[in-house]
Amino acid sequence: MTTMLITTGAQTTPNGQGRCIRRACRPKMIGLTGTFAIVWLSIATPPGPGWATGLDAPPARPNIVLIMVDDMGYGDPGCYNPSSKIPTPHIDSLARDGMRFTDAHAPGPLCHMSRYGLLTGRYPFRTDVSRWPKQPLIQADQVTIASLLRAQGYRTEMVGKWHLGFHEQGYDRPLPGGPVDRGFGGFFGIRASTDIPPYFYIRDDRAVSPPSKTIAANNSPGWSPIQGAFWRKGGIAPDLNLADVLPRFTDEAIRVIDRHVAENAQRDTDQPLMLYLAYPAPHTPWLPARKFVGRSGAGMYGDFATMVDAMIGRVLNCLDSHELTDNTLLIFTSDNGPVWYDEDVERFHHDASGGLRGMKADAWECGHRMPFIVRWPGCVEPHSVSDQTICFTDLLATFASLTRFKLPDGAGPDSVDFAAVLLGTQPANQPVRKALVMRSGGGLMTVRAGDWKLITGLGSGGFSRPRRLKPGPSDPPGQLYNLAQDLGETNNRYADEPEVVARLLETLKQIQDDH
């Protein structure tokens, strides 16, 4: 066994849980076994740079619960859109008790892009995402938020939608390259979305039951072909019912928390937990349980999103019941924008975009500007709002900073530490990010620096029409918007600001060339 010395600012309370306090750290010995521990030992000693913030000492190593929903728009939660037709009391409670970000971005406006960047701290344009689904997108030697925290003694668990590929070699054999090979100690979930066959549950790296049956394709009248109770024809396991996936994942997440608490009590330890709960909803198929039908004013989609909020509420109640809430850093976000057309806004008077332009897969803001909330009692100011520009890729550096871990060279090249923002020590007029780069669904590149945003072509690049436009003789070759003045991206300034265009194109080139 190899032993590492980790410092923590946890204070033991009567129930054995650490509270976030700012006082001198105490040492804690954590044992790590096998090659994994030896690899990380040499890089886990100095504190990260995020603690040059004026604090006497970093907060305790908290439990970390990361909840990512699927295809929920910026304007769906009530805390982001007071006119929302979707009741989201549990998501709203997180904003009430924590920090709500207004300028947080997915690193790509599609499922696999977003999740790749979140876990690795790397922009997804740096890898060949076309390898999915037959090959893993995350390489075996890449640092992930799970491997980072596991190396520091965290119990790391994932429940839900992976969507980053396995080495698929039959359903009676292991499925390598998935969560348990990328830093998670346990996994229960599905390979992709619940409208992409084959449909089967995976436990760790094995199919629970093979997709031996066939399910016919389905669509909902009155909706576009990719909305409603939509799924594709394909193989399905006999133990999987599409309508049961959302509550099943909630049950599994609660079991993880229950088991973790019980095992800590049995061993008389206070090992922290990192749980990544990746809900595959309200992505299609929209399948609200009967008790949620009619609960929203936004049709099937709104009812399903209401059910998602209720499932989040069950997880929050579980944390409360175990008295874990006060020492849990909880993050809520969505992977990309919604599939919600202009005609849907007109029909239901519900704007899932929250006033942003576009939808899922688009280079426009609705494709990638996400609801993002952080709750951490005693550390993150309740009912606070930050307009700092951040990206999902930034979680790797931020977790490293919060847990006093020095990332190895090459890890998280596109990750920026925003711990000081969470702790209230970052001046509001000092941006933590100099630039943000992403590729949209149609291959357009986007670069953002300050208030300026450049898109390297015309059209949405995604699901919105027009997807791509060929410039005419008098048209600019791309799009430039000042988001401080024009968040709806209605006034293309490309032809009027050649110096800004040149500067942003140079920034884009530098980031693309930086390997």
> How far lies 39's CA from each of 118, 147, 171, 296, in Å?
23, 11, 32, 51
Element containing residue 56 per DSSP (H, E): none
Is pLDDT above 70 for 4?
Answer: no
Is pLDDT above 50 for 41?
Answer: no
E runs forming strands in 223-309: 234-236, 273-278
Judge: domain 436-513, CATH 3.30.428.10: no
Q: Domain 63-336+379-422 class?
A: alpha beta
Is residue 179 a contact partner of residue 146, using CB atoms and an 8 Å limit?
yes
* Cα 497 from Cα 504, distance rounded (Å): 11
Is residue 460 a contact partner of residue 467, using CB atoms and an 8 Å limit?
yes
The helix/strand/coil state of 491 is coil
| Domain boundary assignment for the chain | 63-336+379-422, 436-513
378-422 pLDDT per residue, tens: 999 999 999 999 999 999 999 999 999 999 999 999 999 999 999
DSSP conformation class of 450: T
* Cα 224 from Cα 226, distance rounded (Å): 5
* Cα 475 from Cα 489, distance rounded (Å): 17
Number of CB atoms found within 10 A of residue 251's CB = 14
168-227 pLDDT per residue, tens: 888 999 999 999 999 999 999 999 999 999 999 999 999 999 999 999 999 999 999 999
**Structure tokens of 315?**
């997880």
First to last CA, the chain: 35
Report pTM: 0.90
Is pLDDT above 50 for 1?
Answer: no
**Structure tokens of 488?**
């709806």
Which DSSP string do the residues of 227-241 spell out, in sequence order?
SSS-B--EEE-TT--
Is pLDDT above 90 for 33?
Answer: no
Q: 6 or 408: whose pLDDT is higher?
A: 408
Q: What are phi and psi of 491, to 5 degrees?
A: -120, 100
